[in-house]
Amino acid sequence: MIRLEKRPSPSRLWTVATPVLAVALTMIAGGLLFAALGKDPVAAIRTIFWDPLFNEQFAAYSRPQLLVKAGPLILIAIGLSLGFRAGIWNIGAEGQYIIGALSGAGVGLAFYPMEAWFIFPLMVLAGGLGGWAWAMIPAILKTRFRTNEILVSLLLVYVAEQILASMSLGLMRNPEGGGFPGSRNLQQYPSAANTELFAGTGVHWGVVAGFVAVILAYVLLNRHMLGFQIRLAGQSPRAARFAGVNPNALVVFCLGVSGALAGMAGLFEVSGPAGQVSIDFNQGYGFTAIIVAFLGRLHPVGILLAGLLMALTYIGGELAQFMLGVPAAAIQAFQGMLLFFLLGVDVLSNYRVRLGKREVA
């Protein structure tokens, strides 16, 4: 019989190895999924993971896209990982992302058609504030009334989507857009556009912000008292209380930071790759970022790598859709499967597998 024996502390080797193992298992299971859909599994996996980077025909387009897509994912996931480490579950990043985008774009549109250097920084600030404010709703309800932050933050996503619909059909609609829904195109408004900083790399301000967030989160978690408190609160809430950690302050901090980062990610997206506020500009990054945070083991550097990998599945998924006719939903299922495998093989880092006769437990 197979028996599991709890390790005194998580295995360092397996902590690093499990994400790799999970990706490998997902490739196998994904291959089976594609085979079931009547596609050549090897070709499908190669199209998703290899061609965007190394196929001469596509790489010129896909490589920059990698950073364009990874930027918001990393930015949001870094914020989420702080809360997840402390046992504070903000799963409404999608809502904070939408509200951040709306606040930031609102500021930009209010200045139209003025040209000034300060408009874009102001938009970024407004985006962060918008996301922060939206995340403060579950934070305050949690600290004041002990309301479950998981449910509140998630339900607020649906509220945010309604606000987005209302804005793109009403207040923010392009007055010169011939009645079509959607705002003015911010890409055509130089002071508000989040442009590519280095031609051909895909690096825009959101990607820069993502990298800065990785570094800051690393410093915070490893070199700062607050980071220690976050880790302590997650590993042992009781010990944290004895050590004088204020749980409410931690909730406000973690939800606030993750909301602000998600809001900024929304702004960078709406003023950059998406270009305008429209009913469906949000690509579900807020939810995918949850997978990114876990795949990166809630560690800043891990999240950086996981964000790039997840961006690759987005781009590869589009490519597979185009080349092989693999449906877009298959990629979504594929990403969900990755999280399953990751959580499943995680048992190896916390438990030792023993083979032997089963005793009466």
Partner 1 sequence: MDLSAIDPVVLIASLMVAATPILLAAIGELVVEKSGVLNLGVEGMMITGAICGFAIAVETGSPTFGFLAAMVGGAALSLIFGVLTQVLMSNQVATGLALTLFGLGLSALIGQGYVGLKPPATGQLDLGPLSDIPVLGRILFSHDLVVYVSLALIVGVWAGLKYTRAGLILRAVGENHEAAHALGYKVVRIRLMAIAFGGACAGLGGAYLSLIRVPQWTEGMTAGAGWIALAIVVFASWKPVRVLLGAYLFGGVTVLQLNLQAAGLAVPVEVLSMSPYLITILVLVIMSADRGRAALSAPASLGKSFHASS
- Binding positions for partner 1, rule: CB under 8 A: 4, 6, 37, 84, 89, 91, 141, 145-148, 150-152, 154-159, 162-163, 165-166, 170, 287, 290-291, 294, 327-337, 339-340, 343-344, 346-347, 350-351, 359, 361
Question: At its nearest, how many Å lie between partner 1 and the CB of residue 12?
Answer: 19
Question: At its nearest, how many Å lie between partner 1 and the CB of residue 89?
Answer: 6
Cβ-Cβ contacts under 8 Å for 171 (sequence gap 6 or more): none
Question: At its nearest, how many Å lie between partner 1 and the CB of residue 354?
Answer: 11
Contact 351, 4 (CB under 8 A): yes
Cβ proximity to partner 1: between 196 and 346 the closer is 346
Radius of gyration of the CA atoms of the chain, in A: 22
Question: At its nearest, how many Å lie between partner 1 and the CB of residue 159?
Answer: 5
How far apart (Å, rounded) are the C-alpha atoms in residues 184 and 100? 17
112: burial class by Cβ within 10 Å (0-12, 13-18, 19+)?
middle
Question: At its nearest, how many Å lie between partner 1 and the CB of residue 319?
Answer: 18
Buried b (16+ CB within 10 A) or exposed e, 274-302: bbbbbeebbbebbbbbbbbbbbbbbbbeb
Cβ proximity to partner 1: between 151 and 305 the closer is 151
H helices of 224-299, in order, are 225-235, 237-242, 247-271, 285-295
Cβ proximity to partner 1: between 64 and 234 the closer is 234
Question: At its nearest, how many Å lie between partner 1 and the CB of residue 75?
Answer: 19
Encoded tokens for 302: 């891990």
211: burial class by Cβ within 10 Å (0-12, 13-18, 19+)?
middle
Cβ proximity to partner 1: between 224 and 354 the closer is 354
Cβ proximity to partner 1: between 264 and 338 the closer is 338
User: How many Cα neighbours within 13 Å face the side chain of 75?
Assistant: 31
Cβ proximity to partner 1: between 177 and 336 the closer is 336
